[in-house]
Each structure stands twice: as structure tokens, then as C-alpha cells.
A and B are shown apart, each in its own frame.
Chain A
Amino acid sequence: MDAILFYAFAALAVASALVVVGQRNPIYSAFALIVTLCSLSVIFGLLGSPFIAALQVIVYAGAIMVLFLFVLMLLNVRREQDAPERGGRTLRGVALALVTLLVLQAGAVVLRYERAAASGFDASTRKMAEVLFSPHFLYVFEATSVLILAALVGAVVLAKKEL
């Protein structure tokens, strides 16, 4: 049962990722990215992390992508035009991406990381909270709030018409 769900949503994620990259109209890419994010959220749930799955939908699919869609619709973005020298670009792009993939996969094989799922895995929210607020991560947690504040101010300043 888990296997069927995992393969189905993995296939959906890869298919919509290809649509994101291949589609000319950026609004269609945005909707395809939302589908990818939601199927990734299901896979997070299958991997035993309900908190991260919910967070993925709330933060990524529910907030960041709405921001993208707003900017796309307000700037009235049209279909992308083809570049003058199309052929060489595509080939070089695909080659570079494949090389990256092969290097990463080779690295994973060389390191021979123990990849079986550990038993007794408890990723409930309570456990997550205990780790997040432990001295190990507490400073980082508070620092991210300052980061968000900086991003907020920066975005408003950058998008304003006159300072």
C-alpha cells in the first residue's frame, strides 16, 4: 500500500517538475510547481514526518506559490519567446544537468551510506518541538526570525516605487 502511494506520487512529482521546466507559459509552470509541492508533501508523510508534510503545504504551496502567482498575474507575464541560438543551449543544458546528477549519484554510492529506514522513528510534533527548542537549535531558530524580518523589510523596500 505504501509502495503504490509512493510510486504514484513520485511519478506525479517528476511529471509536473518536467512540466515546470518545459512549459512556455510561466503561469502553467507555477501551477505545475504547486502539484509537485503537494505530491512531495504526500511523500514526506509516507516517510513518517507529518509535521513537515503539513508545513510543506502551508509554507511552500500555500504561501510562496501564492506570492509567485500574484507577481505573475500583476506583471502580466506572457509566453516566453525562443532564444535565437536555441539548439546548442538545450544540448549543453541537458549535458550539464546529467553530469551533475551522475556526480551526485556517484558520491552517494562511494559514501555507501546506510540507507535502510530506522525503526522506532518518532517524528511527532512534540518530538520536533523538543529538538527545535533544544540548545542545539534554539539560536538558529531565533536567528531565522530576524532573517524573516530582514527579508520582509527588503522586499518592501525593493518593490516600492519611491523610497
Chain B
Amino acid sequence: MGHPDLVQHALLLSLALFGIGTLGVFLRRNVITLLMCIELMLNGVNLAFVAFSRAAGTLDGQVLVFFVMVVAAAEAAVGLGIVIALHRQRDTLDVDAFHLLRG
């Protein structure tokens, strides 16, 4: 590819996405939005994997991205199943409302 700094800047972008995702996980109170910010973090990690795979010239990073995507899909499915069950119990999707285990 033509651009010499491509890998460097892709890594910076991946850090930015991961940071924004972390910000979202700390700040948001809706459970589903929380799950979406976790997906954002996972995408930042995927980008880092692909960038490093490009830098190293091997394909191991991309195969790992494949597996990360599969695991993210499984986690999203189960997470949303839990969200539906929680909503059925409490009729709210606010994270702060589920505090029964708080010590």
C-alpha cells in the first residue's frame, strides 16, 4: 500500500477508538449502550491486530481478528439475552437499578 505511515496511524486510531469505548463504558447508564461501547473497544482491538499483522507480514493477527469477531458475536447474543431477562424483571435498563448485590 502506498502510504508509509499507514500502520502507525492505524494504531493511533485503534487507541482512540479503545479510549472512546472505555469512556462510554464509564459514562453510560443504559445497559445496551454499555454493550455497544464494549463492541467499540473490541473493534479498536481488532484494528490493532490487523495493523500489527500488516507490520509483521504474517496472517496470524488476522486469524485472531476472525476469532475475536466470533467471540464478540457470541457475547453480544448472550449479553442481549441477559438484558431481555433483566428488563422483564425490573422494567428498567438503568445499570444503577441492579444493585441488589451491593455490599
Contact = CB atoms under 8 A, between A and B. Distances in A.
A3 B3 CA distance: 6
Interface string A65-76: 001100110010
Contacts of B50: 44, 47, 49, 52
A2 B74 contact: no
Contacts of A101: 15-16, 18-19, 22
- Would you call the interface of chain A mostly helix, strand, loop, or mixed? helix
A154 interface: yes
A64 B39 contact: yes
Contacts of A144: 67, 70-71
Interface in A38-89: 40, 43-44, 46-49, 51-52, 55-56, 59-60, 63-64, 67-68, 71-72, 75, 77, 80-81, 83, 89
Contact of A97 (B11, B19, B53): B19
A117 B6 contact: yes
Contacts of B96: 83
Interface in B48-103: 50-57, 59-60, 62-63, 65-67, 69-78, 80-85, 87-88, 93-94, 96
27 contacts: A6-B6, A6-B9, A10-B13, A21-B20, A47-B51, A49-B54, A52-B50, A60-B43, A64-B73, A67-B77, A72-B32, A75-B84, A77-B30, A97-B20, A97-B22, A101-B22, A117-B7, A118-B54, A131-B59, A140-B67, A148-B70, A148-B73, A154-B81, A155-B81, A158-B78, A158-B81, A158-B82
Interface of A: 1-3, 6-7, 10, 13-14, 17-18, 20-21, 26, 29-30, 33, 36-37, 40, 43-44, 46-49, 51-52, 55-56, 59-60, 63-64, 67-68, 71-72, 75, 77, 80-81, 83, 89-90, 92-94, 96-98, 100-101, 104-105, 108, 113-121, 123, 127-128, 131-132, 137, 140, 144, 147-148, 150-152, 154-159, 161
